[in-house]
Amino acid sequence: MINYIIRRLLIIPVLLIGISMLIFAMLSLLTPYERAALYVSDIPKRQGAIEEIIIKYGLDDPIHEQYWRWMVGAKDPDTGEITGGVLRGDLGWSKVGKSTVAEVIGRRLPASAELALWAAIPLIGLSIWMGIKAAVNHNKLPDQILRVAAIAGWSIPTFVFGLLLLLYFYSRLDLFPPGRLSIDVQEIVLSDSFVQYTKMHTIDALLNLRFDVFADAFKHLVLPVVTLSVVSWAFLLRVTRSSMLDTLRQDYITTARSKGLPENKVVNRHAVPNALIPVITVGGLTLISLFNGVVITETIFNIKGLGSFLAQAATSLDVVSVLGITLFSSTVLVVGNLVVDVLYGIVDPRIRLD
């Protein structure tokens, strides 16, 4: 198992270098004047200032030299200090966020992470359970109902489903408002008496033993969690059902049944563990995509996460922010994929022996 993990760890640097080259290639499509925004928060308006920045940071140098400086930073000719560099956490200046991209990610990430964590509960629990239930009752009424529900959930656009939920439950019933907190509860969270350990409001509320804050934060999460879960839930249900049906047709399942084992033991002990192997891969990558933030869901429900910020940056043509968040999301995806590979190897020992 250790050798398997080491092999996967050795692949990560290669993937990250490849991703960084791809990101820099997109960045190189910009002119030196546009790339000057990477190094300054506000370009001076005096004549010749932009040209001075281009010369100072070598924005018209050969592409390989620019890539090296972008990765490790560049020496400031005035102070002699190394500034910038992706490896130093400098992803450039965000015009929309009015701060560095790294600071924007630090502010916005907790909201996306909280949404993803709560969405993971119905996504993983319900989809796997329903997928198994549909496969066990193949072509029976429960299977037909779940198949129709999965197709409907997979087909309906996220923005349509989210807006319908918002229109009915908030506009008509006034039950689940958008945003993250009510105004009066937000004042409590921002007060000195409330400690923000993670900046995820539901978790911080429990750590502070403020169940009123937890109830308000959870109330705001209901609709976006449902919206975010439905499409992914439908897809994972179909994957689970297909994998379970294939497993139930295997010879060892027939053998277990011929020995007189009860059907629930055949399903739970023999079929389910093997059927979940491909589900782990699909489910793991789905959760990673949730963690990175979902643009449409966060925008509809006014959640200040990475997804909604990415939409603002794109509409404002803030290329530096878009590329910085893309690089961060790609890194999370690569690391998350490693975790999925390790889990895959734990569940199926044959994988780590390949």
Domain-located, residue 165: yes
The whole-number average pLDDT for the span 280-288 is: 78
The whole-number average pLDDT for the span 171-190 is: 90
Domain-located, residue 215: yes
Instruction: Give the DSSP H/E element, type plus range, for residue 61.
Output: none
Domain count, the chain: 2
Residue 133 has pLDDT above 60, yes or no: yes
Q: Are residues 112 and 82 in the same domain?
A: no
Q: Are residues 127 and 234 in the same domain?
A: yes
Structure tokens at 328: 């961060």
- Least Cα distance to 136 among 291, 298, 18, 272 occurs for 272
Residue 66: its pLDDT value, please?
79
Are 201 and 180 in contact by the 8 Å Cβ rule? The answer is yes
Residue 338 has pLDDT above 90, yes or no: no
Last residue of a domain, one of 44, 66, 90: 90
More confident residue, 197 or 252: 197
Q: Which range scores top for mean pLDDT: 100-104, 124-128, 207-211?
A: 207-211
Residue 290 has pLDDT above 80, yes or no: no
Q: CA 175, 176, 182, 185: dihedral to nearest 10 degrees?
A: 80
Distances (CA, A) of 305 to 16, 162, 312: 24, 17, 11
Last residue of a domain, one of 90, 118, 134: 90
**Cα 226 from Cα 161, distance rounded (Å):** 9
More confident residue, 11 or 55: 11
Q: Are residues 76 and 152 in the same domain?
A: no
Q: Can you say how many angstroms the Cα of residue 289 is from the centroid of all Cα atoms in its chain? A: 3
User: Which residue range forms the structural domain that includes residue 84?
Assistant: 31-90
Percent of the chain with pLDDT over 90: 16
Q: What angle do CA 236, 299, 227 make, to 5 degrees?
A: 30
The whole-number average pLDDT for the span 318-345 is: 82
More confident residue, 50 or 114: 114
Q: What angle do CA 188, 193, 196 make, to 5 degrees?
A: 75
Domain-located, residue 2: no
Residue 352 has pLDDT above 60, yes or no: no
Q: Are residues 244 and 323 in the same domain?
A: yes
Q: CA 145, 151, 153, 159: dihedral to nearest 10 degrees?
A: -150
- Least Cα distance to 221 among 201, 206, 205, 198 occurs for 201
Q: Which range scores top for mean pLDDT: 32-46, 210-224, 260-274?
A: 210-224
Are 73 and 84 in contact by the 8 Å Cβ rule? The answer is yes
Residue 176 has pLDDT above 60, yes or no: yes
Reported confidence tier of residue 24, pLDDT bands at 50, 70, 90 = confident
**Cα 295 from Cα 131, distance rounded (Å):** 27
Percent of the chain with pLDDT over 70: 89
Q: How far apart are the first and last CA of the chain?
A: 12
Residue 311 has pLDDT above 70, yes or no: yes
Distances (CA, A) of 334 to 46, 68, 284, 285, 288: 43, 22, 12, 10, 10
More confident residue, 295 or 27: 295
Q: Are residues 54 and 137 in the same domain?
A: no
Q: How many CB atoms lie within 10 A of CB 61?
A: 14
Reported confidence tier of residue 221, pLDDT bands at 50, 70, 90 = very high
The residue to which tokens 């506009």 are assigned: 171
Are 236 and 121 in contact by the 8 Å Cβ rule? The answer is no
CATH label of the domain that carries residue 182: 1.10.3720.10
Residue 147: its pLDDT value, please?
86
Tens digits of residue pLDDT in 45-92: 566 677 777 777 677 778 888 788 778 876 666 666 776 678 888 887
**Cα 157 from Cα 160, distance rounded (Å):** 5
Domain-located, residue 267: yes
Contacts of residue 99, Cβ cutoff 8 Å, sequence gap at least 6? 93
Residue 351 has pLDDT above 70, yes or no: no
Domain-located, residue 23: no
Structure tokens at 121: 């509960």
How does the average pLDDT of the chain come out, rounded? 82
Residue 200: its pLDDT value, please?
93
Q: Are residues 199 and 342 in the same domain?
A: yes
Domain-located, residue 9: no
pTM (two decimals): 0.81
The whole-number average pLDDT for the span 190-212 is: 92
For the chain, how long is the longest CA-to-CA vector? 88
> Residue 290, exposed/middle/buried by CB under 10 A (0-12, 13-18, 19+)?
buried
DSSP 209: T
Q: Are residues 179 and 41 in the same domain?
A: no
Residue 43 has pLDDT above 60, yes or no: no
Residue 270: its pLDDT value, please?
81
Residue 32 has pLDDT above 60, yes or no: yes
Last residue of a domain, one of 68, 90, 112: 90
**Cα 313 from Cα 318, distance rounded (Å):** 5
More confident residue, 125 or 39: 125
Beta strands of the chain (E only): which ranges?
74-75, 82-83, 93-94, 99-100
Domain-located, residue 341: yes
